[in-house]
């Protein structure tokens, strides 16, 4: 295509660049500050280029920075989040796939009602669910534990994962199920041998969705865990509390970047599948 | 022995009955075809036989064994679907062995069976491909291969050729017929295509609105249709049906058309004595209305205006007006007919059918 620079094309690009810059400036500020020393930031202001590159910020933040009396950096909280997000993502995706498979391919009396109730969970605000979870975690003795958070995120994730998988599986032809039943395959064999091999596109979508959602979740983390049991999102806030008396923008910026790294990586590697998967059913 | 016995099977969806008391006995080695317009219940019936759907009432017996509490997998049947329903993530070989795997057939037997069936269907070179890498005709073969590895009591075919283009459909039709003759298997085959039914079946069950209209060999269904529905459904173009009156002349029965202008002698096999001087519906196949030069001794001559012609190459379908009614005839392709022209035609009256106008049943 011959590229002709016209006025309208210029205007479009200028607008797009302006909007992109608007979104990217905060990230840029955080990245730059993560590489500046506290003195530099205090002297030259929050917005500015690094005087010299301070890679040490990342190392200190990771392993020795003090958050609410604990001077072990954000490292333990990062691993807390990992211990929370990995099982919760895997279990909720697996059950979502099983639910979706049951609801779309093994139609039973009242299946639409069950599906309706399950998807209702998608629309319930988080805050509404706090009190019921307080009771559940107390009775199970899971208060202030990572296991408690895993339970919450697994159960709450089911609404989304079931919705995603059910809507994907609904396009699997019923004849396939009939053929498999005549061949003698049962519920689980059909799932493992026929449905699951067709599932990677939707499983990638649900895994990305669950991983980013659970990793970034803050309210439950801060409500149900304290101190060393907190996931990284809650710990970041504890870190910013110190900001008031002795601002350490460099380390804090590095902490923000480290905390955002896993979801960024997941999106970079899985983003293509994510967009493809979301539109898979629509175009066919 | 009856390979399949269907007794008084009813199926309702809500208040709407889709099967109204189906009775059917299919003998071992038979190629039985369920044919009917869409929505007549033929696929539902097949699904009930397969155990994929349940009847509200009635019983199914396969090989003399009651099937009321037998799951689809234990009915010793194999099914071929219109959409082929090949497992997309498996190779052709895996598609064929999956059922045997589920039934825990020893590995060596699986390998032996697959190679035998693959050879029979000439799909040996496709065994390691995925269904998405196959053409429509190849998928159709694989779907049949998956059924054939089972060696069941009953093969069920649900419109297996509907997704193929016209040329392939004719090829596969012949191949299925050849397979049936070779394997001597019992087949129940659902189709909406009456030509498939005529060409393949040993017996045809014509269905309409949840009821079996007629269950007979193709010749009877074609020449002795049990009622007007069967007469109009079977045959392309279908049988002409027009109002007539039975009259007696010199001890012989005639059908009088168009204010008695045209009188057609009735075959003596039609016991229409009870209908003398009553209105009936007369049925005559298009191939019994031909150009005058091809007349037979027993033919009746009529002169009728031509309204339209449809040359098909092998013959020409002609629409003419007989006693005020549109009637189709079939003439040789070299006969040039002009629309609007009164032309002489020869009517072969030996195969005329008469139907009771109230019950629509064949008068016999």
Asked whether residue A258 is domain-assigned, the answer is yes
Asked whether residue A68 is domain-assigned, the answer is no
Please tell me chain B's helix, strand, coil percentages from 3-state DSSP, rounded to the nearest 5: 30, 35, 35
Asked whether residue A98 is domain-assigned, the answer is yes
Q: What is the mean pLDDT of residues A120-138?
A: 89
A198 close contact with B: CB closer than 8 A: yes
Q: Are B330 and B315 in contact, with CB atoms under 8 Å apart?
A: yes
Q: What percent of chain B has pLDDT over 70?
A: 100
pLDDT per residue as tens digits for the range B321-350: 988 899 999 999 988 888 988 999 999 998
Looking at the fold, whether A25 and A115 belong to one and the same domain comes out as no
Q: Are B279 and B245 in contact, with CB atoms under 8 Å apart?
A: yes
Looking at the fold, whether A133 and A20 belong to one and the same domain comes out as no
Looking at the fold, whether A88 and A152 belong to one and the same domain comes out as yes
Looking at the fold, whether A29 and A81 belong to one and the same domain comes out as no
Residues B276-307: b if buried by 16+ CB within 10 A, e if exposed: eeeebbbbbbbebbbbeeebeeebbebebebe
Asked whether residue A133 is domain-assigned, the answer is yes
Looking at the fold, whether A39 and A127 belong to one and the same domain comes out as no
- How many residues can be counted in chain B? 364
Q: How far apart, in whole angstroms, are the C-alpha atoms of residue B194 and residue B190?
A: 10
Structure confidence at residue A45 (pLDDT): 80
Q: What is the pTM of this model?
A: 0.83
B50 close contact with A: CB closer than 8 A: yes
B153 close contact with A: CB closer than 8 A: no
Q: How many CB pairs under 8 A join A and B?
A: 62
Number of compact structural domains in chain A: 2
Q: Which residues of B217-258 form beta strands (DSSP E)? A: 240-249, 252-257
Asked whether residue A69 is domain-assigned, the answer is no
* Banded pLDDT at A68 (limits 50, 70, 90): low
Q: Are B149 and B79 in contact, with CB atoms under 8 Å apart?
A: no
* Banded pLDDT at A246 (limits 50, 70, 90): low
Q: How far apart, in whole angstroms, are the C-alpha atoms of residue B86 and residue B136?
A: 12
Judging contacts by C-beta atoms under 8 Å, the chain B residues touching residue A197 are: 88-90
> Which residue from A minimizes the CA distance to B74?
A184
The domain containing residue A50 runs over which residues?
2-63
Q: What percent of chain A has pLDDT over 70?
A: 92
* Banded pLDDT at A280 (limits 50, 70, 90): low
Judging contacts by C-beta atoms under 8 Å, the chain B residues touching residue A178 are: 47, 50, 52, 72, 79, 81, 85
Type and span of the H or E element at A107: none
Q: Are A276 and A283 in contact, with CB atoms under 8 Å apart?
A: no
Q: Are A221 and A237 in contact, with CB atoms under 8 Å apart?
A: no
pLDDT per residue as tens digits for the range B83-120: 999 999 999 999 999 999 999 999 999 999 999 999 98
Instruction: Name the token pair of A113.
Output: 């009602």
Q: Secondary structure of A132-194 in the HEC alphabet?
A: HHHHHHHHHCCCCCHHHHHHHHHHHHHHHHHHHHHHHHCCCCHHHHHHHHHHCCCHHHHHHHH
Cβ pair A179:B52 closer than 8 A: no
Does B290 have pLDDT greater than 80? yes
Most confident range, picked from A156-165, A218-227, B271-280:
A156-165
Instruction: Name the minimum distance, in Å, from the CA of A195 to any CA of chain B.
Output: 9
* Banded pLDDT at A279 (limits 50, 70, 90): low
Q: Which residue has the higher pLDDT, B286 or B250?
A: B286
Asked whether residue A271 is domain-assigned, the answer is yes
Mean pLDDT of the residues in chain A: 86
Q: How far apart, in whole angstroms, are the C-alpha atoms of residue A111 and residue B348?
A: 61
Judging contacts by C-beta atoms under 8 Å, the chain A residues touching residue B50 are: 178, 182
Asked whether residue A88 is domain-assigned, the answer is yes
The interface pTM score, or ipTM, of the predicted complex is 0.84
Type and span of the H or E element at A220: helix A219-224
Provide the total of helices (H) and of strands (E) in chain A, helices listed first.
13, 0
Looking at the fold, whether A172 and A85 belong to one and the same domain comes out as yes
Q: Which of B184, B119, B113 is nearest to B150 (CA)?
A: B113
Q: Are B22 and B206 in contact, with CB atoms under 8 Å apart?
A: no
A183 close contact with B: CB closer than 8 A: yes
Alpha-helix runs per DSSP H in chain B: 42-50, 92-102, 107-121, 136-148, 166-183, 194-200, 218-223, 228-233
Residue B68 CB neighbours (<10 A)? 11
Q: Which of B1, B8, B83, B87 is nearest to B43 (CA)?
A: B83
Asked whether residue A189 is domain-assigned, the answer is yes
Residue B323, burial from CB neighbour count under 10 angstroms (0-12, 13-18, 19+): middle
Mean pLDDT of the residues in chain B: 92
Q: What's the CATH code of the domain at A207?
A: 1.10.3720.10
Cβ within 8 Å of residue B265, ≥6 positions away: B252, B253, B254, B298, B300, B349
CA dist A235 → A56, A60, A69 (Å): 20, 15, 12
Looking at the fold, whether A79 and A181 belong to one and the same domain comes out as yes
Q: Are B337 and B326 in contact, with CB atoms under 8 Å apart?
A: no
> Which residue from B minimizes the CA distance to A200?
B89
Q: What are phi and psi of A89, to 5 degrees?
A: -65, -45
B151 close contact with A: CB closer than 8 A: no
Judging contacts by C-beta atoms under 8 Å, the chain B residues touching residue A189 are: 102
Looking at the fold, whether A16 and A150 belong to one and the same domain comes out as no
Is the backbone peptide bond immediately before B363 cis, with ω within 30 degrees of 0?
no
Q: How far apart, in whole angstroms, are the C-alpha atoms of residue A167 and residue A187?
A: 19
Instruction: Name the minimum distance, in Å, from the CA of B83 to any CA of chain A.
Output: 7
Looking at the fold, whether A41 and A17 belong to one and the same domain comes out as yes
Looking at the fold, whether A50 and A141 belong to one and the same domain comes out as no
* Banded pLDDT at A281 (limits 50, 70, 90): very low
pLDDT per residue as tens digits for the range B40-63: 999 999 999 999 999 999 999 999
Instruction: Name the token pair of A85.
Output: 């997000």
Residue ending a domain, among A40, A63, A86, is A63
CA dihedral B125, B127, B130, B134 (to 10 degrees): 40
Looking at the fold, whether A170 and A39 belong to one and the same domain comes out as no
Torsion sign across C-alpha atoms B132, B137, B142, B146: positive
Looking at the fold, whether A218 and A271 belong to one and the same domain comes out as yes
Structure confidence at residue B299 (pLDDT): 86
Does A260 have pLDDT greater than 70? yes
Structure confidence at residue A282 (pLDDT): 39
């Amino acid at each position: 295509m011959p590229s002709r620079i016209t006025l309208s094309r210029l205007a479009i690009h200028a607008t797009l660049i302006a909007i992109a810059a608007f979104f990217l400036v905060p990230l840029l500020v955080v990245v730059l500050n993560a590489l500046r020393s506290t003195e530099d930031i205090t002297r030259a202001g929050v917005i500015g280029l690094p005087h010299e590159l301070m890679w040490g910020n990342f190392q200190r933040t990771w392993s020795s920075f003090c958050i609410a009396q604990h001077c072990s950096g954000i490292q333990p909280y990062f691993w807390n989040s990992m211990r929370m997000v990995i099982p919760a993502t895997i279990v909720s995706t697996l059950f979502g796939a099983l639910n979706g498979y049951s609801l779309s391919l093994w139609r039973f009396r009242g299946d639409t009602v069950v599906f309706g109730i399950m998807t209702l969970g998608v629309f319930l605000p988080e805050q509404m669910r706090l009190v019921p979870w307080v009771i559940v975690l107390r009775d199970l003795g899971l208060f202030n534990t990572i296991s408690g958070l895993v339970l919450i995120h697994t159960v709450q994730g089911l609404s989304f994962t079931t919705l995603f998988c059910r809507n994907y599986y609904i396009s699997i032809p019923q004849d396939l199920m009939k053929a498999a039943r005549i061949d003698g395959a049962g519920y689980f064999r059909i799932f493992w041998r026929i449905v699951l091999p067709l599932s990677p596109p939707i499983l990638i979508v649900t895994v990305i969705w669950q991983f980013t959602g659970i990793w970034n979740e803050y309210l439950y983390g801060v409500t149900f865990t304290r101190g060393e049991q907190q996931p990284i999102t809650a710990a970041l806030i504890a870190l910013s509390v110190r900001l008031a008396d002795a601002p350490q923008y460099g380390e804090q910026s590095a902490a923000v970047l480290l905390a955002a790294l896993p979801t960024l990586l997941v999106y970079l590697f899985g983003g293509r599948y994510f967009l493809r998967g979301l539109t898979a059913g629509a175009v066919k | 022995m009856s390979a399949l016995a269907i007794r008084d099977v009813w199926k309702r969806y809500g208040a709407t009955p889709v099967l109204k008391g189906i009775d059917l006995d299919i003998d071992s080695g038979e190629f039985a075809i369920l044919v009917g317009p869409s929505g007549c219940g033929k696929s539902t019936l097949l699904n009930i036989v397969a155990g994929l759907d349940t009847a509200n009432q009635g019983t199914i017996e396969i090989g003399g064994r009651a099937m009321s509490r037998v799951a689809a997998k234990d009915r010793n049947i194999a099914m071929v679907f219109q959409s082929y329903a090949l497992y997309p993530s498996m190779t052709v070989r895996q598609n064929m062995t999956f059922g045997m795997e589920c039934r825990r057939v020893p590995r060596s037997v699986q390998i032996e069976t697959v190679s035998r069936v693959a050879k029979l269907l000439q799909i040996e070179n496709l065994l390691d491909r995925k269904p998405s890498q196959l053409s429509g005709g190849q998928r159709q073969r694989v779907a049949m291969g998956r059924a054939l590895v089972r060696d069941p009591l009953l093969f069920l075919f649900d419109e297996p050729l509907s997704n193929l283009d016209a040329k392939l459909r004719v090829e596969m039709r012949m191949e299925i017929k050849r397979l049936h003759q070779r394997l001597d298997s019992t087949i129940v085959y659902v189709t909406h295509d009456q030509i498939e039914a005529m060409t393949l079946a040993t017996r045809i069950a014509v269905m309409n609105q949840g009821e079996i209209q007629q269950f007979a060999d193709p010749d009877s269904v074609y020449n002795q249709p049990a009622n007007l529905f069967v007469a109009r459904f079977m045959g392309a173009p279908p049988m002409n049906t027009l109002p007539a009156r039975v009259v007696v002349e010199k001890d012989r029965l005639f059908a009088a058309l168009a204010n008695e202008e045209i009188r057609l002698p009735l075959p003596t096999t039609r016991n229409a004595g009870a209908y003398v001087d009553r209105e009936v519906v007369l049925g005559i196949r298009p191939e019994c209305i031909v150009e005058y030069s091809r007349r037979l001794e027993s033919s009746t001559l009529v002169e009728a205006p031509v309204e339209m012609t449809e040359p098909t190459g092998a013959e020409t379908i002609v629409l003419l007006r007989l006693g005020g009614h549109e009637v189709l005839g079939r003439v040789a392709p070299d006969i040039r007919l002009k629309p609007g022209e009164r032309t002489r035609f020869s009517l072969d009256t030996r195969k005329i059918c008469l139907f009771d106008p109230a019950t629509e049943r064949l008068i016999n």
